[in-house]
Amino acid sequence: MLDYAEPVTKLIDEFKRLPGIGHKSAQRLAFHVLKAPQEETDRLIEAIREVKEKIVFCSTCNNLTDVDPCRYCSGHSRDRSVICVVEEPYNLVAIEKTREYHGLYHVLHGALSPIRGIGPEELRIKNLLERLRPNESGESSVKEIILATNPNTEGEATANYLARLLKPLGFRITRIAMGLPVGSDLEYADEVTMHKALANRHEI
Ligand SMILES: [Zn+2]
């Protein structure tokens, strides 16, 4: 088979680096870009540039944001007595879509996975502990921590690890209900399922 011209191969190779994109999809995307009008590809390039330039991790909760602290952390209407711990920023979006949760968040950016060599050190747990530290009067404003990691092996292991770590500090630790299909990702939970998972959370 003849190879494509080098710039095309380069583009296919770059698309192949994206999660969930195999060779065929990469090829399809590359040819879409080739055929697309210049304005469309300019918008794509600009969107990528903008997100890389403007989006940072919130220094408090690790969520993706264009202002630090993020809108959830600085929002006056948020309930500061509860923190919902999630694996990825898109899990936060799934919970926010229910419009039922008004507390704060903490994004771990992953889950424990011995197989993939991801231990507690690789997750953003340190700044969660900092957030829970008591104030001068010896109290923490946080009362409850909801563990909303994914209902799969890695998410469960992460929830158990955090429960063991945080429970002795005197917080109410809850786990979202497993109305969610086991082995699934919160990313795919619809709003009703997600709402039920939150509403039926149980203490661990
Ligand atoms: Zn934040």
Domain with 118 in it: what CATH number? 3.40.1360.10
CB 104 within 8 A of CB 79: yes
Neighbours of ion ligand 1 (CB under 5 A): 58, 60-61, 63, 69-70, 73
Amino acid at 51: V
- Residue 197: what pLDDT? 82
42 lies in the same domain as 99: no
Tokens of 50: 């903008």
112 lies in the same domain as 145: yes
Confidence of residue 202 (pLDDT cuts 50, 70, 90): confident
User: Mean pLDDT for the chain?
Assistant: 90
* Residue 72 forms part of a structural domain: yes
pLDDT of 34 above 60 = yes
CB 71 within 8 A of CB 92: no
Domain ranges, residue 98: 64-203
Number of compact structural domains in the chain: 2
pLDDT of 26 above 60 = yes
d(CA 37, ligand 1 centre) in Å: 38
Residue 105 C-beta-side C-alpha neighbours within 13 Å: 33
d(CA 25, ligand 1 centre) in Å: 35
pTM of the shown model: 0.79
Nearest 5°: the CA angle 50, 51, 57 is 135
* Residue 1 forms part of a structural domain: no
* Residue 93 forms part of a structural domain: yes
The pLDDT tens digits for 77-117 are 999 999 999 999 999 998 998 888 999 999 999 999 988 89
- Residue 4: what pLDDT? 87
- Residue 27: what pLDDT? 96
79 lies in the same domain as 180: yes
CATH number of the domain where residue 36 is located: 1.10.8.420
